[in-house]
Amino acid sequence: MIRVGIDLGADKIRLVMENEGLLFDEACMVALDQKGNVLAIGDEAKEMKESLDQKIRVISPLSQNKIDFDALHALLEQLIYDYKVFRMFKKTVLLFSYPMALNRQQREELKQHLLEFGAYRVYFEQEIWVAAIGAQLNLFIPVASCVLNLGSSNCDIAVFSNGQMQKSSQYKVAGRHINLLIQKWLRQSCHMQISDSMAEKIKINIGQTQMQKQPKTMLVQGVNMQSQKLMSLQLDENMLVPVLYPLCEQWARWIYQFLAGLNPEQQEDVRMRGIICCGGTMLLKGLKENLQSLVNCPVYVTDDPQSTVSQGLEILLERMGENDAGRTQKSSI
């Protein structure tokens, strides 16, 4: 039996295999030619996005409000082929972690396609649930555990106890808004147009939500919107604080309202145990400290927030293997 976990995200797609760990961690993109043939997937497809070749289409299947299932199927089929997920005389079980935005009908459509493609079984688990498992939380105790998963396109929070998700919420503003705010600020304040990749570099290098005594600087290149000529600017971390801090306030208000909707016992548990956070957006400098201050609740970030979900998939695949082994052993007695 081959057991494979796939973390479906708008920006990233990750593939883990039982006993082999993380094998693929790249952009959730596929490059297609005019006939719909796959030219590349992942980071290679992302690089083609800058291509001027009109015959190449680069698609992010989950980045829009409506999922592009044709592109998603093409991406998954190529990923499955590249990593030999389906092998002769072996059954393959696929386990997907999915964002709350993917509804039951869409999951069923994806499941049927993969079963027809060759999968033995296909399972789906909500991303926030898998994240909680990846964070090594014991979800079966009668005490509330709160998990926040803040990624590029998803912003989810949930409370677990007694082996069940007791309450959850999704917020419309996620990590990708950081890049959008940076681009908007440069257009309005500096009449400068920058690429998506430059916005990402700014976020990673000098994205900041707390004022610094010795702020880091970065040379930013773009196009002057008035002259249409190349231009460059020297930016520093402190210039980004007024741009990005309001996002912290938005997320904090949403979290506070969510906690206020819990029963008194759950509220007390969360105030005592804190909120466990994961997702790549939690790497934004100062975000953890700001949330902790604004919500007035302890906030903890997992050791590797970008990989918490894929780590959860690995744990679930291992458990599936142990359960199957246990059933086989019982049947042979």
pLDDT tier at 98 (50, 70, 90 boundaries)?
A: confident
The length of the chain in residues reads 333
Average pLDDT of the residues in 167-173: 93
The pLDDT tens digits for 104-117 are 998 898 899 889 88
Please state the rounded mean pLDDT for residues 210-229. 96
Domains of the chain, residue spans: 2-130+308-332, 138-173+249-301, 176-243
Superfamily of domain 138-173+249-301: ATPase, nucleotide binding domain (3.30.420.40)
pLDDT of residue 52: 67
pLDDT at 332 over 50: no
Q: Note the pLDDT of residue 174.
A: 92
Residue 153 contacts residue 99 (beta carbons within 8 Å)? yes
118 class by beta-carbon count within 10 Å (0-12 exposed, 13-18 middle, 19+ buried):
middle
- Is residue 203 over pLDDT 70? yes
Q: What is the pLDDT of residue 327?
A: 52
CA distance 94 to 313: 11
Determine the average pLDDT of the residues in 70-74: 92
Does 138-173+249-301 match 2-130+308-332 at the fold level?
yes
Evaluate whether 99 touches 66 at the Cβ level (below 8 Å).
no
Q: Could you read off the pLDDT of 51-65 as tens digits, one per residue?
A: 767 889 999 998 755
Q: What is the pLDDT of residues 30-51, one digit of tens each?
A: 999 999 999 999 999 998 887 7
CATH 3.30.230.10 fits 2-130+308-332, yes or no: no
- Average of pLDDT values for 172-182? 94
* CA 132 to each of CA 69, 160, 170: distance values in angstroms, whole numbers, following the listed order: 28, 9, 16
Residue 154 has pLDDT above 50, yes or no: yes
pLDDT at 65: 56
- Which residues sit opposite 164 in a β-bridge? 161
Please state, in angstroms and as integers, the Cα–Cα distance from residue 217 to each residue in 19, 203, 234, following that order.
43, 12, 7
Residues 219-226, mean pLDDT to the nearest whole number: 96
Which pLDDT score is estimated for 233?
95
What is the mean pLDDT of the segment spanning 155-182? 95
pLDDT band at residue 333 using 50, 70 and 90 as cut-offs: very low
Distance CA 150, CA 277 (A): 7
Superfamily of domain 176-243, CATH level 4: ATPase, substrate binding domain, subdomain 4 (3.90.640.10)
Q: How far apart are CA 69 and CA 74, in angstroms?
A: 8
CA atoms within 13 A on the CB side of 220: 33
